[in-house]
Amino acid sequence: MVSTLERPSLVTQVESAIVMSSVIEAAAVVDHVSKVFIQRPLLRRGQSKEVRAVDDVSFTVGRNEIFGVLGANGSGKSTLIRMLSTLLIPDSGRVEVFGYDVRRDEAEVKRLINRVSVEASFFKKLSPGENLAYALRLYGRSGSAVRDETYAVLERLGIARDKVGEPLEQLSRGMQQKVAIARALLTSPVLLLLDEPTTGLDPRSKLDVQRFVRELREGHDATILLCTHDMAEAEALCDRVAILEKGRLAALDTVTGLKQRYGAEIGTDDPSLEEIFIHLTGRSLEDDVEGEHE
C-alpha cells in the first residue's frame, strides 16, 4: 500500500509534465539572461577580473524539440546549462522550465530535468550498479524492479551484466558516458540537458549515444537541449541550432535556415555548419579561449 504522502511515480510525473506540455508549448525559456563571474584574488593584491559568461541571451526551446547550442570553449554553453540545472543563479533575466522559474520553483524544476555532462561524474570506486542505485534513490526509485530496469537499460547501451559490478574507474570513457546516459534515462527527465555528451567518445559510442538521444525524444516525449562541439552531431540531431559567441547569441535557426541565411554571405549555396560557425565567430570550434569561465 503506497502512502498518500509518498511521491507519485515518475510515470505520473511525466504524465503531469505532458499535461503541462500540452498547455505550455515552451519546454525552456531563456529570456534576456546574463551571468557575470568576478574572479577576485583572495588575500592577495591585484585587480579582480570580470568575465561575462552569458550576455543578454534569449531563446525558447519548444516541447519535444532537440535544440542545439554550438559554441567554442568559453562561449557560455555550460553556464547556460548550469543555470537551467538550478546550479547557477542568473544575474538578470528569466530562466523557466515548463513554466517553472529556476530560482523561485527550484524543487519543481529539479523534478523535471536531468543532465549529462562532458565528464561522467560518478563515484569512481563504485560500480555502475552502485552509482545508479544511489542516483535513482535520489529520484525516489528503488527496489528489484528498478534494478531489473537498470540492467535492461545498461544492456541496451552495450554494457554487459558482468561489467555492472566492476568499479567504474575500470571502464572505458565511452562506457562511463553510457552509464551517465543510463542515469539520465532511468530518471525519465522531461527536459534533458546534454553538455557535450559525446566529446572524447569513439565513433561507435557517439552513434550509440545519438541513437539514444533520438529514442529518448521519441519514446519518452522528452525535450533535449544539446550543447556540442560536434557540427555533424548538431546537424544530425538538432531541430534548431543556436550559436553562442563570447556569451552572446550570434544566430538561431534550423540548420537549413542558417544555410539559407548565410550561404550568400559565405559564397556558396550549401555551406557546412562549420563554415557558418566560422563566418559568424571568426574562428573554428577547436579554438579554445583561455581563462574564460565555463
For other proteins, the binding residues (CB under 8 A) are 3, 5-8, 12-13, 16-17, 19-20, 23-24, 35, 37-38, 42, 53, 79, 82, 85-89, 96, 99-101, 104-105, 107-108, 110-115, 117, 119, 121-126, 130, 133-135, 137-140, 142, 167, 293
If the CB atoms of residues 259 and 293 are measured against other proteins, the closer one turns out to be 293
3 state SS for 217-262: HHHHCCEEEEEECCHHHHHHHCCEEEEEECCEEEEEECHHHHHHHH
3-state secondary structure of 181: helix
Backbone angles phi, psi at 144, to 5 degrees: -70, -35
We find the least distance from the C-beta atom of residue 218 to other proteins, in angstroms, to be 23
If the CB atoms of residues 116 and 234 are measured against other proteins, the closer one turns out to be 116
C-alpha cell at 55: 550576455
We find the least distance from the C-beta atom of residue 72 to other proteins, in angstroms, to be 19
Kindly list the distances between the CA atom of residue 222 and the CA atoms of 23, 136, 214, 216, in Å, as whole numbers in the listed order. Answer: 15, 18, 9, 6
Helix 173-186 vs helix 128-138: angle between axes, to the nearest 10 degrees?
30
If the CB atoms of residues 24 and 278 are measured against other proteins, the closer one turns out to be 24
If the CB atoms of residues 133 and 250 are measured against other proteins, the closer one turns out to be 133
We find the least distance from the C-beta atom of residue 124 to other proteins, in angstroms, to be 7
We find the least distance from the C-beta atom of residue 207 to other proteins, in angstroms, to be 25
Backbone angles phi, psi at 206, to 5 degrees: -60, -45
We find the least distance from the C-beta atom of residue 155 to other proteins, in angstroms, to be 22
Q: Would residue 196 be called left, alpha or beta, if left means φ above 0 and alpha means ψ between -120 and 50 degrees?
A: left
Largest CA distance in the chain: 67
Q: Would residue 25 be called left, alpha or beta, if left means φ above 0 and alpha means ψ between -120 and 50 degrees?
A: alpha
We find the least distance from the C-beta atom of residue 293 to other proteins, in angstroms, to be 7
If the CB atoms of residues 163 and 293 are measured against other proteins, the closer one turns out to be 293
Residues in the chain: 294
If the CB atoms of residues 183 and 259 are measured against other proteins, the closer one turns out to be 183
Kindly list the distances between the CA atom of residue 164 and the CA atoms of 46, 238, 255, in Å, as whole numbers in the listed order. Answer: 50, 32, 39
If the CB atoms of residues 55 and 108 are measured against other proteins, the closer one turns out to be 108
In eight-state DSSP terms, residue 293 is -
If the CB atoms of residues 120 and 280 are measured against other proteins, the closer one turns out to be 120
We find the least distance from the C-beta atom of residue 280 to other proteins, in angstroms, to be 26
We find the least distance from the C-beta atom of residue 7 to other proteins, in angstroms, to be 4
C-alpha cell at 146: 528498478
